[in-house]
Amino acid sequence: MQSFSAVETQHKAKKMKQFNLLSLFLILITFFGLANSTIVSHDERAITIDGQRRILISGSIHYPRSTSDMWPDLINKAKDGGLDAIETYVFWNAHEPSRRQYDFSGNLDLVRFIKTIQSAGLYSVLRIGPYVCAEWNYGGFPVWLHNMPNMKFRTINPSFMNEMQNFTTKIVNMMKEENLFASQGGPIILSQIENEYGNVISSYGAEGKAYIDWCANMANSLDIGVPWLMCQQPNAPQPMIETCNGFYCDQYKPSNPSSPKMWTENWTGWFKNWGGKHPYRTAEDLAFSVARFFQTGGTFQNYYMYHGGTNFGRVAGGPYITTSYDYDAPLDEYGNLNQPKWGHLKQLHTLLKSMEKPLTYGNISTIDLGNSVTATVFTTNEKSSCFIANVNSTADALVNFKGKGYNVPAWSVSVLPDCDKDAYNTARVNTQTSIIAEDSCDEPEKLKWTWRPEFTTQKTILKSSGDLIAKGLVDQKDVTNDASDYLWYMTRVHLDKKDPIWSRNMSLRVHSNAHVLHAYVNGKYVGHQIVRDNKFDYRFEKKVNLVHGTNHLALLSVSVGLQNYGPFFESGPTGINGPVKLVGYKGEETIEKDISKHQWDYKIGLHGFNHKLFSIKSAGHRNLKWSNEKLPADRMLSWYKANFKAPLGKDPVIVDLNGLGKGEVWINGRSIGRYWPSFNSSDDGCTNECDYRGEYGSDKCVFMCGKPTQRWYHVPRAFLNDKGHNTITLFEEMGGDPSMVKFKTVVTGRVCAKVHEHNKVELSCNNRPISAVKFASFGNPSGLCGSFAAGTCEGANDAVKIVAKECVGKLNCTMNVSSHKFGSALDCGDSPKRLFVEVEC
C-alpha cells in the first residue's frame, strides 16, 4: 500500500511530464506560427512587409456585390491586372440585420472571401469601418441601431460605441480564429477603423475629436498585429495611418511626417443615381492620376472600385443609387475586362513594380522643366528611375531631359524605368477597346406571363387597417425598421356642409420627404410625385374630390435607399414629415385644414411582399392565385410572373426591362434589385467624345442623355438553373408592359485598337473567336471606333490581310506594330505612325 506522499509525488511527476510535453507542443506551434507569419509595419516612405519597403497596388471588390462563384474569377483577373491586394469594406447591416443575429452565408461569407484572396496569392485590406458609406443603404449601419433609445451615430454616445465595438470585435475575432491576419500567416496586411470621418468631424465639435480618439484606442486594443488605417482623417491619432481619398492624391501630404503617403480610394469612375446620366472616366486620366501619385512619393494606391458589381435586393443607398454599381471600374459589373482601362493600367503596374527599389529607397530629386512640366528622379546605388509629368491641360511639351528629347502630351506622365527609354505614357493607350453588345441569338421563346393585383390595396386605403396607430406623423424608418421600401400613412377626416374648408375646389397638400409618394382619397388614386434633381424635400398638391361625412386618406410613402453620407445622416427625415393639409379655395380666399396631428394608421410593406409572392414556394399556395388571362399593361401595384430557360453558355446574363415602370425583380426567389427603366436622364450635357485632359469630375464625360439610367439588370449565373425552368417575378409599382421583357447575354461584339509604332497590339474577343477584320490601317489613320478612316499615308503592306491572317478564327492574337511588319509609310515623314484596327467577334 503506497503512502499518500508517494502517490502525491508520482502524481506531480506525471503532471510535470504532461506540462513539459504541452510546453514543447506550444513552443513548436509558436515557432512554426511565427515562421509563417508576416511582419507588416511602416515608415515615412512605405508599408514594409518583412522589413522590405513595398510598392503596393490594390483594388476594391465588395463581396456582397457579386456572388461567391464569381469571386475566384474576379480576384484572378485583378491579379492578372497587376494588383497586389484586394480591398473590401465590411457591411454591418448585412451581417447583423437584427441585433445579435448574424448572417455570414452565401455572398456574405467574409471568411471565404478573404481565403479566396489568399488562395490567389494576394494580400487583403480589410476596411471594417463599420461605417462604410459606399453608396450602401444607410452607410452600412443597421436601422435597428438608429431605433435604440438615446442613440446618436459616430460621436461620444455609450450606446453607439458599445454596438460599434461589439461588431468590430466580432469581425476581428472571426479573422483571428481563421488565422487571416498577416501576423498569423494570413493575407490581411492592413485594416481600417471608421471611414472618411475627417470630412464631417467639424460638425461634431469636441465630441468628434474625442470619438475619433476612442476609435483609435479601441482598434489598437484589439491587437491584430498589422497597421490600422483612418482614411480622410488628417492628424489621425497614433498609431493610426491617415490616408487620402479622391480622383487625385498627388498633392496630398500626410499630417504626420512619419506616415507613408497612401491612397485608399482612387475613384475609377462614379456611381449612378436614378434619373442621372452614365459617368465615364478615361483610361488616360486614371493612369495619369496613378503615375502622378507615385511620382510624388506615393507607395500604396487602391482603386475604388476595381470591380463595382451589383446592388442586389435593397442594399443600394443614396438615396436614389441605382441597382448597377458598375462604377466604370477596370472590371465591369459582370466581371468582364473593361478595356482599355484594365489593360492600360496593367502595363503601368508592371513598370511601377520594376521600379520598386528606387521608388521606395532612392534619393528623390525634382527638376522643373518649365510650362508645368517636371521630371522626378529616384536614385539608388544600383539604379535610377524617372517620371516626366506635363500637367498643362492644353499644351503638349517637347522637353530635353538628360540630353535627350521627349514628347510629353498635355495632362500625361511618361515613365522611364531606366531614366532613358520612354517605356510608357499615360496618354498613349495601346490597349484594345472592347465594345460590349447584348446577344439575343439564343433567346428562348416569348415569355408567358401570369399576374395578380397587389391584393390588399383597396382594403388598406378604405378601411385604414394597419400595424400601428399613432397620433401625428412618424418618420418612415422609425416605423419600418427598413424592413420594406413601403409604408402606408392612413387617416380619416370628417367634413360637413358647415366646415369652413368646404368648397368646389379642394386639394390635398403634403409636405414630404418620401422618395416617391402615391396618394389615394376615398379609394380613388389622386396621383404621385417622384424626387427629381435631388430635391428630397418637396410639396405635393393635387385636386381631390371629398364628400360630406367620413373621407379616407391613404398615402403610400416609398423609399429608394436610405441616406449613406454626411454628418448626422442617420437623423435625416424619411417618409412623410408633414404638414398634411386639406386646402379649400374660395375665390381669392384659401382655407387650410391641418390634419398632421390626427390619428394615423400605419401599415408596413405590401401584401405581396409580406406573403412572399416572389418566392418559388408561394406558387403552390392555394390562396395566392395568378391569372393568365388579359395581361394588363400600365397597371399600378401589380405582380407578374413567368417561367424561362436559362440562356446557353457561360456569358453573363442580363434581363432587359425596357417598357417597365418601377419596382423590384426576383429570379427564382432571389432579388436582383430595384428597377426603374422609366426614369430617363435629362437630354443635355453629353458629348460623343471625351477629352481626357484636365481634372476629372463626376459630371465630366457623361453619356446616355435622354435614356433610362438603367435598362439592363444583371442576372448572376448562380441564380439560374441550367436545366429545367426558371422563374422571374416582378412587382410593378408605377405601371409598365412586361411583354417587352427579354433575357440576353453580354458579349464582346467588336474590338478596336489604336496602337503606336514600336508597341505590341493584343486583340481578344473574351473567349469568342475573332470573325472578321472590319478595318486596319498603318500610318496616320483617324476617327473613332466604328468610324475609322485611312489617313494621308499608309504602310506599303495590306494591313487588313496581315491582321486577318494573324487573328481571324483565333480567340486572341498578338502583333508587333512596326514598319517592318506593315511596310514603310514614307509619306508620313517623321511623324509618329499608328495602327488602327477594328475586328468583329
- CA 223 to centroid of chain Cα atoms: 30
8 A C-beta contact, residue 315 and residue 137: yes
Angle at 838 between CA 836 and CA 839, to 5 degrees: 145
Q: How far apart are CA 84 and CA 442, in angstroms?
A: 39
E strand or H helix that includes residue 76: helix 71-80
The pLDDT score that the predictor gives to residue 36 is: 81
DSSP state of 442: T
The pLDDT score that the predictor gives to residue 443 is: 53
User: Active-site residue among 135, 163, 265, 838?
Assistant: 265
Return the beta strands (E) in 241-348 as ranges: 241-246, 262-267, 300-307
Condensed to tens digits (0 to 9), the pLDDT of residues 713-766 reads 999 999 999 887 899 999 999 999 999 999 999 999 999 999 999 999 999 999
User: Active-site residue among 135, 196, 570, 732?
Assistant: 196
Main-chain phi, psi angles of 14, to 5 degrees: -60, -45
Per-residue buried b or exposed e for 780-810, using 16+ beta carbons within 10 Å of the residue's own CB: bbebebeebebbebbbebbbeebbbebbeee
Q: How far apart are CA 261 and CA 300, in angstroms?
A: 7
Which residues of the chain register pLDDT less than 50? 1-34
Examine the residue annotation and report whether 382 is marked as an active-site residue of this protein: no
Q: Is the peptide bond before 573 cis (omega within 30 degrees of 0)?
A: no
Spatial CA neighbour of 411 closest among 388, 392, 430, 386? 392
The pLDDT score that the predictor gives to residue 464 is: 65
- CA 22 to centroid of chain Cα atoms: 49
Examine the residue annotation and report whether 196 is marked as an active-site residue of this protein: yes
The pLDDT score that the predictor gives to residue 490 is: 95
Strand ranges across the sheet with 424-425: 363-370, 373-379, 384-390, 412-416, 424-425
The pLDDT score that the predictor gives to residue 616 is: 84
Alpha helices in 222-364 (DSSP H): 283-295, 341-354, 356-361
Look at strands 742-756 and 670-675 and give their pairing. unpaired
The pLDDT score that the predictor gives to residue 14 is: 41
Distances in Å between the Cα of 2 and the Cα atoms of 7, 11, 617 are 7, 12, 72
Q: How far apart are CA 452 and CA 391, in angstroms?
A: 61
Spatial CA neighbour of 801 closest among 781, 821, 826, 779? 821
Condensed to tens digits (0 to 9), the pLDDT of residues 116-130 reads 999 999 999 999 999
